[in-house]
């Protein structure tokens, strides 16, 4: 369930709210001043680029000893 951020234009209060299917309507009341003048903020997800490079190094030395 995605969480959207809202900001109140009345008291400039930022709050997050779960965007449910039922609550797909616009117009979220501010939990602080109960004002309907709120605006939904656009939250941009930034995906961290990961360098893909698997370096596997492993040399196994087997010593063969022959005891006489």
* Selected range binding Zn ion among 9-17, 19-27, 40-48, 55-63, rule: CB under 5 A: 9-17
Q: Under a CB-based contact definition with an 8 Å cutoff, are residues 6 and 17 in contact?
A: yes
Q: Is 32 in the site for Zn ion (CB under 5 A)?
A: yes
Supply φ then ψ for residue 16, to 5 degrees.
Answer: -105, 150
Q: Comparing C-alpha atoms, which of 18, 20, 39 is closest to residue 30?
A: 39
Q: Which is nearer to Zn ion, 19 or 29 (CB)?
A: 29
* Selected range binding Zn ion among 22-30, 46-54, 59-67, rule: CB under 5 A: 22-30
Supply φ then ψ for residue 17, to 5 degrees.
Answer: -145, 140
Which residues make up the interface to Zn ion (CB under 5 A)?
8, 10-11, 13, 30, 32-33, 35
């Amino acid at each position: 369930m995605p969480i959207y951020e809202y900001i109140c234009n009345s008291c400039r209060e930022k709050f997050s709210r779960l965007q449910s299917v039922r609550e797909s309507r616009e117009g979220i009341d501010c939990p602080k001043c109960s004002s309907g003048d709120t605006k939904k903020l656009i939250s941009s997800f930034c995906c961290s680029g990961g360098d893909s490079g698997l370096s596997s190094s492993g040399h196994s030395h087997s010593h063969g000893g022959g005891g006489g």
